Amino acid sequence: MDVLSIDSTGDHTSVASKIGDDLLSISVNHKRKSRPDWQSLMQNISIDSKDLSNFDLFVFGQGPGSYTSIRSVATFLKAIALTQSKPLMPISNLECIAFEHTIFNTEDQILHCAILSDIKSEAYYAEFNFVDGSLKNIGSEILVNKIDLEKIASKDPDAAFLGNAWDSVNEVNVNLDIKSNAATLIELALSKYSKESKYRPEDANPVYIKETTYKKLNDQ
């Protein structure tokens, strides 16, 4: 299956393609409110408009994250997927971070993923369980504050803490630099893909946690 993926989390954008066994990707850093030229990025991995019909699946990181960036990516790929009559799969950016970690860390473990929102005292958070080579989401993706993250870390010090929101945590297994990216989105999408699912472009939407499901751990 040939796949094209775009991921944009606000200040970092990546584009990747997998054609046969060949995986190519490019990433750029930019200002949070800037929108990269995705067509130019695709050309850097030898993809132009005439190649789009050759892809079997399109994928994007649906958030949580910078809603403006994610919405722009979703709109861009929706138009392509609809024009080409191809499926479009949205993937959680937090799940992508967890999946990236398990590629290089195959032992069973609990994974706490948290990335900063546009307000530095808040973070998007989700917990995952990696057992017998399978990654499972535990609970919902929620918005928490930094104090909540410190409580999580103190209760589960042997777990892995992934993402840039754990900067005030002193646990051993912390990876602040890990990010979602288009190449990992492709591998995750292929692991989740089901022929029975439609992946209709019109149903592929960004996730915006802050407006609808703001929660604190103490409220659960």
Give the count of beta carbons closer than 10 Å to the beta carbon of residue 41: 20
Specify whether the CB–CB gap between 186 and 18 falls below 8 A.
Answer: yes
Q: What is the pLDDT of residue 211?
A: 54
- DSSP codes, 30-54: --TT----HHHHHHHTT--GGGGGG
- Strands, DSSP E only, in 42-156? 57-63, 88-92, 109-116, 122-131, 134-145
Distance CA 100, CA 135 (A): 11
Per-residue pLDDT tens listing for the chain (220 residues) = 999 999 997 788 999 999 999 999 999 988 766 777 888 999 999 999 999 999 999 999 999 988 888 999 999 999 999 999 999 999 999 999 999 999 999 998 999 999 999 888 999 999 999 999 999 999 999 999 999 999 999 999 899 999 999 988 887 799 999 999 999 999 999 999 999 999 999 999 999 887 544 444 444 4
- pTM for this model (two decimals): 0.92
Q: What is the pLDDT of residue 214?
A: 43
Q: What is the pLDDT of residue 212?
A: 42
To 5 degrees, how large is the angle CA 57–CA 63–CA 68? 100
Q: What is the pLDDT of residue 213?
A: 44
What structural domains does the chain harbor? 3-92+180-207 (3.30.420.40), 106-175 (3.30.420.200)
As given in the structure block, the two tokens for residue 132 are 């017998």
